[in-house]
C-alpha cells in the first residue's frame, strides 16, 4: 500500500478549512475576540521569534490542550475567542485546523503562509532578548 504524501493531506485539509490572508490576520492582532495560536516547536520560537500575544500550543499537545475533558486542558484554547493557528509555513497548521474542526471546534482559522509570510509582510515579531 502506498503512503499518501503529506502534501496531499495538507491540500485536502486546505479544501475544508478557512484560511485568513496575512494582511487580514495582521489587522486582527490585538483584538480581544481573537487568539493567535502558535503550534511551532519551542526551538522555532527561540530561533525565529513570536507573534506578540500569541499562545504557544505545541503541535503534539494541541488536541489534548483544546479538549476540556483532558487532564492537559488549557482554558485559553476553549474560551470562545476566534483562533488563528499558525506554524512556519502553514502545513502543520492546516492539518491542525482540520483536526480541531473534526473535534467540533468552531471559529478556528489558518494563517495563510504561516509565520514566514507574517514576517515577510511586516507583521510584528517579538524576539528573544
Reported as a single tens digit per residue, the pLDDT across 17-37 is: 999 999 999 999 999 999 999
Question: What pLDDT, in 10s, does the model give residues 45-63?
Answer: 999 999 999 999 999 999 9
**Cα angle: 27, vertex 28, 34; to 5 degrees:** 175
How far is C-alpha 34 from the chain's CA centre?
A: 12
Domains of the chain in sequence order: 6-120 (3.40.250.10)
- Cβ(39)–Cβ(92) below 8 Å: yes
Give the SS3 label for residue 82.
Answer: strand
Give the SS3 label for residue 44.
Answer: helix
The DSSP call for residue 77 is G
Question: What pLDDT, in 10s, does the model give residues 69-121?
Answer: 999 999 999 999 999 999 999 999 999 999 999 999 999 999 999 999 999 99
Q: DSSP letters of 97-123?
A: HHHHHHHT--SEEEETTHHHHHHHTT-
Q: Can you give the pTM of this predicted structure?
A: 0.95
Amino acid at each position: 500500500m502506498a503512503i499518501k504524501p503529506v502534501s496531499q493531506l495538507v491540500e485536502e485539509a486546505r479544501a475544508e478549512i478557512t484560511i485568513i490572508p496575512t494582511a487580514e490576520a495582521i489587522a486582527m492582532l490585538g483584538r480581544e475576540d481573537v487568539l493567535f495560536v502558535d503550534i511551532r516547536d519551542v526551538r522555532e520560537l527561540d530561533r525565529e521569534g513570536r507573534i506578540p500575544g500569541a499562545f504557544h500550543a505545541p503541535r503534539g499537545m494541541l488536541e489534548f490542550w483544546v479538549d476540556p475533558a483532558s487532564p492537559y486542558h488549557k482554558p485559553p484554547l476553549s474560551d470562545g475567542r476566534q483562533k488563528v493557528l499558525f506554524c512556519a509555513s502553514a502545513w502543520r497548521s492546516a492539518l491542525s485546523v482540520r483536526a480541531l474542526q473534526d473535534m467540533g471546534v468552531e471559529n478556528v482559522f489558518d494563517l495563510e503562509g504561516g509565520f514566514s509570510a507574517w514576517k515577510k509582510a511586516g507583521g510584528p515579531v517579538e524576539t528573544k532578548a
